[in-house]
Structure 1
Amino acid sequence: MELDLKMLEKVVSIVEDKKGGDISLLNLQKISMVTDYCMIVTGNTTTQVKAITNHLEQKLPELGIPVIHLEGLPTAKWVLMDCGGDLVIHVMTPDQREFYQLERLWKDAEAISYETSQNV
């Protein structure tokens, strides 16, 4: 499945449904063979990380985006969702996000701008 900006905006909206914050969406198509897009999301607590993850796990297949592998539960400090090579989603607590700084790892990636209900 080829993801486009409209589909990615729907994924962002699903995250926002559970108040996921500080959402970064990176285009890795030219720099990674692992995935096309990477989304990094902050959940303020492990409970919120679990809620965001569970909501994504339920809603992504409805959009035609498979959840192939899920890693990081039940501790839920950092959950990785592999969506079949098209999208990888990292849902992290603030301390994990600060420590690992994934955006710096992918500093050569293009950041994608998106419109959401919060931006309208």
Structure 2
Amino acid sequence: MPYTRPARPPPEEASLQGSELAHEIVDVLVDRQAEDVVLLDMTSLSVFADYFVIATVDNPRQARAVVDAVEAHVLADGRSRPKVEGAADSSWILVDLGEGIFVHVFTEDSRAFYNLEGLWNRAQEVVRVQ
């Protein structure tokens, strides 16, 4: 039986769905005590990403707990399992939600070192929760 790709929603609808999910992820991160959570709209700057969600945690253990909560939220919403890059003891874990939304969970030192907000400083900041 041949594989049939599911129909994609129109671009404006896909963008709205992505925006809603990105905002939900911000809420999940804040609920899990992540700090300085930022949602960046990347649509005008990137062909691979619509949104970056960036958050700071105290240590790699908290990072893993935050990522687990993001995964659980996405799966509970009936979406496919996100792709996760970064070891359990890593200071930066990347979660690709597969819909143009990338979640970056950093320890404070790693966030300062990689400075994604500086690199993508032309991105529109949609939300910032201190």
1:108 maps to 2:126: no
Give the equivalent residue in structure 1 for 2:38.
24
Amino acid at match of 2:29: V
Larger radius of gyration: 2
Q: What residue in structure 1 maps to residue 88 of structure 2?
A: 74
Aligned-pair identity in percent equals 28
- Cα offset, 1:81, TM superposition: 0.4
CA RMSD of the aligned region, Å?
Answer: 2.1
Range moving further from structure 2, 56-65 or 39-48: 56-65
Amino acid at match of 1:96: S
Residue 57 of structure 1 is matched in structure 2 by 71
1:67·1:81 contact (CA, 8 Å) conserved in 2? no
- The alignment's TM-score, normalised by the length of structure 1, stands at 0.85
Q: 2:72 is paired with a residue of what secondary structure? A: helix
2:61 equivalent to 1:47: yes
The one-letter code of the counterpart of 2:90 is: A
Structure 1 stretches lacking a partner, 5+ long: none
2:26 to 1, 12, 27: 12
* Cα shift at 1:4: 5.0
TM-score (norm 2): 0.79
Deviation string, structure 1 residues 30-62 (Cα, Å, up to 9, x no partner): 110111000100011111111101111111222
Structure 2 residues not aligned, in runs of 5+: 1-8
- Shift in alpha-carbon separation, 1:108–1:95, aligned structure 2, 3 A: same
| Matched position secondary structure for 1:97 | helix
Match of 2:107 in 1: 93
